[in-house]
Amino acid sequence: MKTSQHTQAWLKLVTLFTLLTGLIIESNPLFAQSKCMLYGSITTVEGKTYEGPIRWGDEEVFLSDIFNSEKTSNPYIKYLNKSNFKTSYKSSSHSDNWVNISIHTNRQNTGSFSRQFQCRFGDIKSITVTGRESVNLELKSEKFINLNGGSNDVNTRVSILDIELGLLNVNWNKIDIIKFFRPTQKPNDSFGQGIYGKLTTTQGEFTGFVQWDHDERLLDDKLDGNSSDGNLKIPFRKIKCITKQENACLVKLNSGREIKLYGSNDVNNSNKGIIMSLPNIGRADFHWKHFISFEIMNGVATENLCDTLFPDSERLYGKVYTKSGNEFEGVIVYDLDEAMDSELLNGYNDDIKFSIPFRNIESIKPMAEDYSSIELKSGEKLFLGDQADVSNKNAGIIIFTSSDSYHIIKWDELEKIVFTE
C-alpha cells in the first residue's frame, strides 16, 4: 500500500469518526443500551417458553456481536465451470465475512474447501437447534441457512433473564428454538451495561462500545494486572481511563486514584486487541500497537444506538463496470459468496481490521493486487487490503442481469462496483 494513499485513507477515516463522536448525548445509559442487547425467547424441547434478555454462553450479549459456524455448501459454485474455478481461485484463508460462505482452497486441490459462516445477532430472526452441533438459522429476511459446528457458538449454554423467573441457564440439548425480537418496554433486568467510551489511537479517536482484549465487554467485567503491591482485578465500572505506558498501563479510577498495572494480557503487548462497534459503519479491531488510551464514558450513549442498524436484509444490487468497458446492472454475488447487504466486507488498514456491512458501502474499486478503495454511503473513503474481499484473492463477481442471464467477472477484470437500492 502506498504511503500517500495510506495517509489519505486515515485522514478521511479520522474525519468520519470525529463526526460520529459529535453525535453523543446525555441519556439514561441502561435505557439506551437495552436497545442494543440481545432479547427474545427460548422454547425448550418440552415446549416451555421463557422471555427476556439473552446471553450466548459467557460471551455474546449485544446485537452487534457475531454468531459463528460453518456452512456445508455454496449455492453459487454451480455457476462456475472447472476452468473458471481453477483460474479464479487463489490460495487464501478467507474466513471473516458474515452470512459468509468462506472458501479455503489450495493449489494442490482446488475442489477441496470449507466455508465459514458469520453473522451479527441483530440480523438473526431465529435459531432452531437441529443436532448436537447443528442449527437452522433464519435471517430477518426469512432466509434459512443450515449450519454445523465451526465454533463454540454451537453446543453451548444459552442464558436468559426471564421477565418473571429471573436467570435461567439452558443447556444446548434442552433448546428447541430461540427467537430474537425487541422488547415492548425497557427490561427490568439485564446482564450488564456495555463498556462505552472514547478510544484514542495512533490513527485518531473513535467512540463506541468495545470488547477489551477481544473478551471483556461489560462494565462489571474486570481488568486484570499486577501492581507493585500485588495482583488486582478492577471492574471497568470503576475505571475512568486506561493509558498505555510501554509494556504496561496506567489506570485512572473514577475517584482520581492512579495505579500502574503490568504482567497481564489485559494491560501489555499480549493484548489481542480492542474491538469497537461503530454505528452506521461496522466493526474495527484495533491492534494493541495502535492503542494510546481509552476513556470510559459512563452515563453517556448515542441517541440512535441500535434502532436502525439492523433492517431486513436485501439482495445486493447495483452496477458492475469492467476494465474492457462493459457495464452490467443486476443482482450481485460478491466474492462468489456474499449476496445480502447485511453481509460484511472485511479488510485491513495498517493491522486494523474493518468489517463493514455492504449496506453501508457505496462503491468498491480495486486499486492494486492487494488492496481496494472503499467509498461509504456517508461519502467517506478508505483503503483496505490483505483480505480476499479486497484483494486479488477475491474469487470474482457474479451479476444476474435477468432470471436466466448472468455474467462472471474475474477480479483482475473488475473496474468498479457501484451498489444501488
The C-alpha atoms of residue 186 and residue 419 are separated, in whole angstroms, by 37
378: its cell numbers? 456517508
pLDDT attached to residue 356: 92
Residue 401: predicted pLDDT = 96
Quote the pTM value.
Answer: 0.82
Distance CA 412, CA 421 (A): 26
CA distance 38 to 310: 12
Query: CA torsion 250→253→259→262, rounded to 10°?
Result: -50
Per DSSP, 121 falls in state G
CB 273 within 8 A of CB 288: yes
Alpha-carbon dihedral sign for residues 185, 191, 192, 194:
negative
Instruction: Give the Cβ contact number of residue 105 at 10 Å.
Output: 22
* Amino acid code (one letter) for 41: S
pLDDT in tens, the chain (421 residues): 443 444 444 444 544 444 344 333 334 445 556 678 999 999 999 999 999 999 999 899 999 998 989 887 788 888 886 434 443 333 333 333 323 333 333 323 333 344 678 789 999 999 999 999 999 999 998 889 889 998 999 999 999 999 999 999 999 999 999 999 999 888 889 999 999 999 999 989 999 899 999 999 999 999 999 999 999 999 999 999 999 999 999 999 999 999 999 999 999 999 999 999 987 788 999 999 999 999 999 765 554 567 667 889 899 999 999 999 999 999 999 998 888 898 889 999 999 999 999 999 999 999 988 999 999 998 888 899 999 899 999 999 999 999 889 999 999 999 999 999 8
* pLDDT at residue number 116: 73
Contact 257, 239 (CB under 8 A): no
The pLDDT of residue 305: 62
Q: Cβ-count burial of 384 within 10 angstroms (0-12 exposed, 13-18 middle, 19+ buried)? A: buried
Residues in the chain: 421
Please give the pLDDT value at position 16: 45
Task: Give the separation between CA 325 and CA 121, rounded to whole angstroms.
Answer: 40
Distance of CA 210 to the CA centre of its chain: 12
The position carrying cell 459462516 is: 117
| Strand pairing report for 49-56 and 104-105 | unpaired
Q: Residue 308: what pLDDT?
A: 66
User: How far apart are the C-alpha atoms of 165 and 146, rounded to whole Å?
Assistant: 32
